[in-house]
Structure 1
Amino acid sequence: MDSLSSFSHPKRKPRWLLVKWLLIGVLILITVLLINTYRFTAPETVTRHKPTETNIHPLATYSVTDEEAVAITERLSKAIQFPTVSVRNHPEANKEAFAGFTQFLEQSYPQVFQSLSLTRINEHGLLFHWQGSNPSLKPVLFLSHSDVVPVPESQRSQWTYPPFAGVIDQGFIHGRGALDDKASLMGWLEALNTALTANLQPARSIYFAFGQDEEVGGQYGAISIAKHLADQGITFEFILDEGSYITEGMVPNIKERVALIGPGEKGYLSLKLTAKSDAGHSSKPPKLTTAGRIAKAVANIQANPFPVDLTYTATFVKGLGDEAPFVQRMVMANRWLFEPIADYVIPAIPELQATMRTTIAPTMLQGSDVDNVLPGLSSAIINFRILPGDSIQKVIDRTRTLIDDPEVTIEIYGNASEPSRISSTESSGYQILAQSIRETLNDDTIKIAPMIMIGATDARHYEHLTEQSYRFIGLTLTKETVNGFHGVNEKIGVESYLESIRFYQRLLSKL
């Protein structure tokens, strides 16, 4: 027995050493994770101060009377009543509605149309120029668009009020375009009108570009306006477009409002998949019909999501600082370890999940027109929103590999755009926006976080004219109202709309 013990004892020692070093390794790993997590806070770069009589124009603190607020609200209501629906490749579509809307703007804001120089681009695109007092300063550019998406007949019965009635009820302005994007366009005009009345003279020149076909790619609006500006050699200190907003009750575990500024946006691509064969009677089908071939292709693509990239989600969580849940901060601060399991630890919020990868969304399917005829041609449209780091060509190549079927052809459907450049959060433009938000809300502690735009905006067409391009509309949205974007019962709160105008006024006063 003693001899056996002497033999076995040396074998136990290496095991205990291994356990010891494993425990030390785990402790070191935990220490590194915790240190990284507690250091994961965005540096404060915005100069905070209380505005005083000597450093801010009276416009910045201008408040409207109850009577003026009613008039402002009614003007947005009237704007919604023009069904300015854009149609891809049909610039003349709904021409009367666009013409009526422009005439309404001229009648509602005569001082703006008389005081600023106006260039009309392809009839319905409007480019205003407000000359600054200091020509050595680079101008800024503010963007909005007048067109809206259609309301399908199948959805109209689901609306509480007719989508183009502009009904004002229970503190909300209802209708298509209330959020996207007439509240922004009208808000800018309201702020600009007040600025002119208050005799504001900006130091730098300010341009306002209102496109008429943002929802279908911007060919006749933003793209043409951007070309016009480029031909004149005009570049900008920064650009601000629609997009991000102030959230209320939408960020997990944060009850207070959070202001999101979009420093860039994902790319846009739709691919059309097509399969062809001879049409025939459904009683004698081939092994795989064209409809089945397309269905298989779509299923293969959806079953293989793009890899996770937490770079841009991390900048958002970092901006939240200590308000973000500890687990999320730990994941983002240690992406090298947790990125492979991000899908399991990040909340299943569509907007947040969409910042993590290039997304895949089959949106249109077509086969036979009747149920007992084999389709000679079947097709599907898949929309991709491309995360920076991926590209149009990468998406096409990946799609072709996943389908792995030479009988399915792939082509780009409609307009496509690469992901935008990501603008700095330490730039002058971002600082001005952040400070304007804090002062408008009179809240020096509100969290302001950069969040990449998951939707497409006109800003991408102007990217070559500036190093700083941001997306923010100044509206406060809740889980209820945010679903109105391109959805049913689009609406905006009256108080939120008035607050966004105050933000625009504050911003104008700083230029």
Structure 2
Amino acid sequence: MVLNRHFQQQPVFHPVTRPDITIKNLAIFDTDVFRDEVAARLTGSVQIPTVTYDSMGHVGEDSRWDVFYEHSEYLRKTFPRIYKALELQTVNEHGLLYTWPGSESRLRPLLFMAHSDVVPAGTSTTAEWTHPPFQGHYDGEYIWGRGSEDDKSNLIAMLTAIDSLLECNFNPSRTVIISVGFDEEGGAEQSYGARCLAELLLKKYGENGVEMIFDEGIAGIEHRFGTDFALPATAEKGYIDVTVSVHVPGGHSSTPPDHTGIGYLAQIIRIIEDQPFKSRITRQNPTLTYLRQAARLSKSMPEELRAAILGPDANEKILEYMDASRERRAMVRTSTAVDVISGGDKVNSLPESVQVVVNHRIAVQDSVQAVKDHYIRLLEPWAEQQRFKFNAFGSVLSSERSSSRLKDDLEEGTLILDAQYELDSSPISDAEDDRFSWLVGTLRGVFGNDVVVAPELLTGNTDTRYYWELSTQIYRMSPWRASHDPRGTRMHTVDERMPVKGLVEMVKFYHEFIRVLDEKRI
């Protein structure tokens, strides 16, 4: 009885006006003809290899951008009603801003985001694909290919939802915007698309001038503890890459020192990996809200865990549970990933310069500066012990003791720390806000009354990092059931694919979300 009462506490929203649209379109969405039609739209998009790389020149200078013209033309031919009824602006040639003007100018717009670019498929793994990565194969159950899930599925679903509403002569009261970037998958500091789109929107609507922003995220309906959870991310972690460089004298490898530069770097890597950031759970972390929702509402959470989450010593026991899995612990700590290493030119030549790049996704309780301070605490004692000069993020650090010693002793080398792309964790959207309840109600209206909606933390980053000033309510999820693909998500790897059932669910969600928000007022 208690469980049922808790389920009823979350709202369920269905559009009230224009019941004819509900009757017509929701019935159409369930047909094989519609399923195959929307699959064909995604297939055609996947067949255009809109790949971005970590280092690309400016649009108009680097010919690798030119394929995006083909994709834009494909969208124009596929959605003629949209191109007739909506306003379209292009930014830096390939950024697309669709605006569907509402009749009530006092209502702040609803903003959807997507991106048209994809990661490379990788020639070394081409033979491992079930179907070639840009063939866009559709077998009646899945659309296969690079970008089929991330993120062309969301883009095609958004446009299809609007196209279906236009076919019914739906005229929104609230302006609806789709902002389509084209370099989300590019290098971390590349920002020809989303950043410029965000600047245009900020100039037009002003700070907090948008009611709500909805962007991609994980496959947002997951089965946990015997319960279906819809998990919109209300925050995302920060980001920093730290480059650790060791510079030492070279020479012939026939007379090596005790440690080469690579040997020293190996010591440093071990220090970094053996002393990770501490896990902490704080009230601002959406993960805590999710866990409490799961403890109250899930059907089969182990009673010991349920009691721990809701009990007086919750934090300590929650951290034990979170740290037991690398996926869960990423929600409560700043992650450390040693990803790229380089150094050494020839087998008989001692390496003079070696380096490693360490990627960090910054937890909500930490900051860019906290990451830098962590490195200094870890490596300053090592540098002093090894008689290395220590340059940390632009500052030469040395204690009085090491400085006086270095006057008499020969320095062994130099240790340098540099940071690239510094981004603190995002602002946190308030799950107690009325607008979050609109999302909750729509998700439960589309996916069923038994679905529990809870906020979550996104461990990666999206293009929303450029949009923080536009709205206090930003949500990130891909609205389809992860259970439609038993193999799990395949984004960014071999055999990426999108279940057609999930694609249709996304169309239904965007279709209903537009209508529900059109009826809501703050």
SS at match of 2:453: strand
- The residue number in structure 2 matching 1:128 is 98
3-state SS of paired residue (2:458): coil
CA–CA separation in structure 2 for the residues paired with 1:393 and 1:175: 40
Question: Relative to structure 1, is the Cα distance of residues 214 and 49 closer, same or farther in structure 2, using a 3 angstrom cutoff?
Answer: closer
Q: Given the alignment of the two structures, is residue 98 of structure 1 paired with residue 68 of structure 2, yes or no?
A: yes
- The residue number in structure 2 matching 1:496 is 502
- Where do residues 71-86 of structure 1 align in structure 2 (5 Å cutoff)? 71-86=37-52
1:361 aligns with: 337
**Structure 2: distance between partners of 1:119 and 1:74:** 26
* Aligned equivalent of 1:228: 200
Larger deviation, residues 51-60 vs 368-377: 51-60
Change (3 A) 1:50 1:163: closer
Counterpart residue number, 2:289 = 315
Per the alignment, residue 402 of structure 1 pairs with 378
Counterpart in the other structure of 1:15: none
Alpha-carbon shift at residue 227 of structure 1 (Å) = 1.0
Distance in 2 (CA, whole Å) between partners of 1:317 and 1:278 is: 53
**Aligned residue in 1 for 2:418:** 411
Kept in 2: contact 1:61–1:506 (CA 8 A)? no
Question: Of residues 67, 82, 87 in structure 1, which corresponds to 2:53?
Answer: 87
Residue aligning to 1:471: 476
Aligned to 1:23: none
1:412 partner amino acid: A
Task: Look up the match of 1:48.
Answer: 12
State the superposition RMSD in angstroms. Answer: 2.5
Alpha-carbon separation, structure 2, partners of 1:507 and 1:283:
70
Whether 1:158 aligns to 2:128 is: yes
The answer to whether the 8 Å contact 1:367/1:378 transfers is yes
Equivalent-residue separation in structure 2 for 1:401 and 1:70 (angstroms): 58
1:228 maps to a residue whose letter is: L
The 1-side partners of 2:344 and 2:55 are apart by 26
**What is the TM-score with the length of structure 2 in the denominator?**
0.83
Q: Is the 8 A contact 1:317 1:328 kept in 2?
A: no
Change (3 A) 1:260 1:66: same
Equivalent position of 2:397 in the other structure: none
- Structure 2 residue 141 is matched with structure 1 residue 171: yes
The yes-or-no answer on 1:183 pairing with 2:157 is no
**CA 1:316 to 1:282, structure 2 compared with 1: closer, same or farther past 3 Å?**
farther
Q: For 1:374, what is the secondary structure of its paired residue? A: coil
Kept in 2, the 8 Å contact 1:42–1:318? The answer is: no
Instruction: Quote how far apart the aligned CAs of 1:96 are.
Output: 2.7
> Aligned equivalents of 2:499 and 2:324: distance in 1?
27
Paired position in structure 2 for 1:206:
176
SS of 1:359's equivalent in the other structure is coil
Q: For residue 207 of structure 1, what is the amino acid of its counterpart?
A: I
Q: Does 1:384 align with 2:360?
A: yes
Secondary structure of 2:336's counterpart equals strand
Unaligned runs of 5+ in 2: 384-389, 391-413
Q: CA deviation at 1:247?
A: 3.6
Task: Report percent identity of matched pairs.
Answer: 29
Q: Which residue of 1 aligns with 2:217?
A: 243
In 2, Cα distance between equivalents of 1:421 and 1:158? 40
Tell me the equivalent position of 2:460.
455
Aligned partner of 2:433 among 427, 433, 439: 427
Q: Structure 1 pair 420/374, CA: closer, same or farther in 2 (3 Å)?
A: same
Residue equivalent to 2:260: 289
Is 1:273 the equivalent of 2:247?
Answer: no
Q: State the shift of 1:133 in Å.
A: 0.9
Distance of 1:248 and 1:388 partners within structure 2: 23
Is 1:301 the equivalent of 2:277?
no
Could you tell me which residue of structure 1 aligns to residue 395 of structure 2? none
Q: Specify the SS of the correspondent of 2:66.
A: helix
1:196–1:43 Cα change, 3 Å: same
**Partner of 1:230: helix, strand, or coil?**
helix
> Deviation string for 1:140-161 (max 9, x for gaps)?
2110011111123333332222
The worse-fitting range, judged by mean Cα deviation, of 363-372 and 117-126 is 363-372
CA gap 1:118/1:223 in 2 versus in 1, 3 angstroms: same
Name the structure 2 match of 1:25. none
Residue-by-residue CA offset, 1:335-364 (whole Å, 9 max, x unaligned): x74545655433744432211111111111
Q: 1:327: how far off?
A: 3.1
SS of the equivalent of 1:264 reads: strand
Q: Which has the larger radius of gyration?
A: 1
Q: Can you give the 5+ residue segments of structure 1 that lack an aligned partner in the other structure?
A: 1-37
AA aligned opposite 1:472:
M
Say whether the 8 Å CA contact 1:359–1:385 is kept in structure 2: yes
Q: Distance in 1 between matches of 2:68 and 2:459?
A: 28
- Does the Cα contact within 8 Å between 1:358 and 1:390 map onto a contact in 2? yes
Secondary structure of 2:356's counterpart equals: strand
SS at match of 2:164: helix
Letter in 2 for 1:289: T
Aligned with 1:242: secondary structure?
strand
* Cα distance between partner residues in 2 of 1:52 and 1:232: 31
Relative to structure 1, the CA distance from residue 187 to residue 370 in structure 2 (aligned partners, 3 Å threshold; closer, same or farther) is farther
- Pick which of 149-158 and 130-139 moved more: 149-158
Distance in structure 1 (CA, Å) of the matches to 2:94 and 2:14: 41
Distance in 2 (CA, whole Å) between partners of 1:75 and 1:466 is: 31
Q: Is the 8 A contact 2:281 2:319 kept in 1?
A: no
Offset at residue 178 of structure 1 (A): 1.3
TM-score, normalised relative to structure 1: 0.85
Tell which deviates more after alignment, 422-431 or 192-201: 422-431
Cα distance between partner residues in 2 of 1:151 and 1:77: 16
Counterpart in the other structure of 2:117 = 147
1:456-489 per-position Cα deviation (integer Å, ceiling 9, x unaligned):
0011210111111111221222475544122221
8 A contact 1:481–1:492 mirrored in 2: no
- Describe the SS at the equivalent of 1:243: strand
- TM-superposition CA deviations, 1:3-38 (whole Å, max 9, x none): xxxxxxxxxxxxxxxxxxxxxxxxxxxxxxxxxxx9
Is 1:326 the equivalent of 2:298? Answer: no
Q: 452-461 or 273-282, which moves further after superposition?
A: 273-282
Task: Report the residue type matching 2:450 in the other structure.
Answer: T
Check whether the contact 1:423–1:469 (CA below 8 A) recurs between aligned residues.
yes
Match of 1:219, as an amino acid? S
2:327 aligns with 351
Cα shift readout 1:432-457 (whole Å, capped 9, x = no counterpart): 2221211112x112111111111100
> Partners in 2 of 1:285 and 1:171 — Cα distance?
60
Aligned letter for 1:444?
N
Q: How many residue pairs were aligned?
A: 467
